[in-house]
């Protein structure tokens, strides 16, 4: 089996806008993945908030290639195209897109943890929301493949447990831990723009060459908060049209962008 081809991404501007009360779009055919795949789509605004932080710290740029190996329906790979020159999206299951046949950057079905498959060439960043249980294996394999760094979005509780510490953190301490101050709602099988959650999520980031990224060689990671207001800043009407299912549109909460609140 040949390596998936990296798909060139077109740059798209992120334009905040007021969410419509009843956004309408054409319903695609939905494929239900097995429950064991833990398909919880990432709100697009959450990915943009994180990638903006990477750019501000000169860790990510439009000359780099990124790979999301657990792309689902493209809720993360689509926003990644705004920040990286090329984006590859793969998954162990063909979820399909929400409005389109395939997720943005789709490179085909692929088991990321299958060592027998040849690695795609030229991957700078591995950025993904992995399944909870094999997330440690995603990190370790990603560190073998990515040239610049690995970033995983996980539940905050993933930072705990002795086994995970011994398997990952003791030998591969992260460079950055990025905590959302506001909640990032995730729901099984779909993105609900007006949803809520009691679960906290955090980005854990490994930069392989710390010195070139402005970090000291110390093993202690930097802890950074993404302050409140990220959803207001980065959620767009285009997200609703592209990533939300029609059945969810009446649930949207009105969100005013900065500077336009009544």
Q: Does residue 256 lie within any of the structural domains? A: no
Q: Does residue 215 lie within any of the structural domains? A: yes
Q: Does residue 258 lie within any of the structural domains? A: no
pLDDT at 218: 52
CB–CB of 146/64 below 8 Å?
no
Say if residue 22's pLDDT is above 50. no
Across the range 75-88, mean pLDDT stands at 96
Q: Does residue 14 lie within any of the structural domains? A: no
Q: Report the alpha-carbon distance of residue 74 to residue 46 in Å, rounded.
A: 13
Between 48 and 210, residue with greater pLDDT: 48
Q: Does residue 201 lie within any of the structural domains? A: yes
Q: Does residue 32 lie within any of the structural domains? A: no
CA angle 28, 32, 33 (to 5 degrees): 130
Q: Does residue 262 lie within any of the structural domains? A: no
Domain with 118 in it: 40-244
Helix (H) or strand (E) holding 205: strand 201-207
Q: Does residue 24 lie within any of the structural domains? A: no
Which segment of 9-13, 110-114, 163-167 scores lowest on mean pLDDT?
9-13
Tens digits of per-residue pLDDT, 92-103?
Answer: 888 877 778 888
Q: State the total domains in the chain.
A: 1
Tens digits of per-residue pLDDT, 134-182?
Answer: 999 999 999 999 999 999 999 999 999 899 999 999 999 999 999 999 9
Q: Report the alpha-carbon distance of residue 262 to residue 250 in Å, rounded.
A: 21
What CATH number is given to the structural domain containing 66?
3.40.50.150
pTM of the model: 0.78
pLDDT at 37: 66
């Amino acid at each position: 089996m040949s390596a998936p081809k990296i798909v060139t991404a077109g740059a798209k501007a992120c334009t905040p806008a007021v969410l419509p009360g009843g956004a309408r779009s054409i319903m695609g055919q939905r494929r239900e993945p097995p429950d064991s795949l833990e398909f919880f789509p990432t709100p697009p605004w959450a990915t943009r908030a994180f990638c903006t932080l990477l750019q501000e710290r000169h860790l990510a740029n439009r000359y780099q290639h990124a790979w999301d190996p657990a792309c689902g329906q493209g809720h993360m790979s689509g926003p990644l195209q705004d920040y990286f020159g090329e984006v590859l999206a793969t998954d162990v299951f063909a979820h399909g897109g929400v409005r389109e046949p395939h997720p943005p950057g789709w490179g085909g079905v692929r088991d990321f943890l299958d060592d027998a498959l040849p690695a795609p060439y030229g991957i700078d960043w591995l950025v993904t929301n992995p399944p909870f249980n094999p997330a440690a294996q995603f990190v370790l394999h990603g560190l073998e493949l990515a040239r610049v760094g690995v970033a995983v979005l996980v539940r905050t509780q993933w930072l705990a447990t002795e086994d995970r510490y011994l398997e990952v953190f003791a030998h591969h301490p992260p460079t950055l831990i990025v905590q959302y101050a506001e909640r990032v709602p995730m729901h099984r099988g779909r993105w609900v723009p007006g949803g809520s959650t009691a679960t906290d999520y955090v980005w854990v980031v490994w930069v392989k060459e710390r010195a070139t990224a402005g970090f000291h060689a110390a093993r202690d990671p930097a802890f950074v908060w993404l302050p409140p207001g990220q959803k207001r800043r980065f959620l767009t009407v285009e997200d609703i049209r592209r990533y939300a299912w029609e059945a969810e549109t009446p649930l949207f909460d009105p969100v005013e962008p900065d500077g336009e609140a009544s």
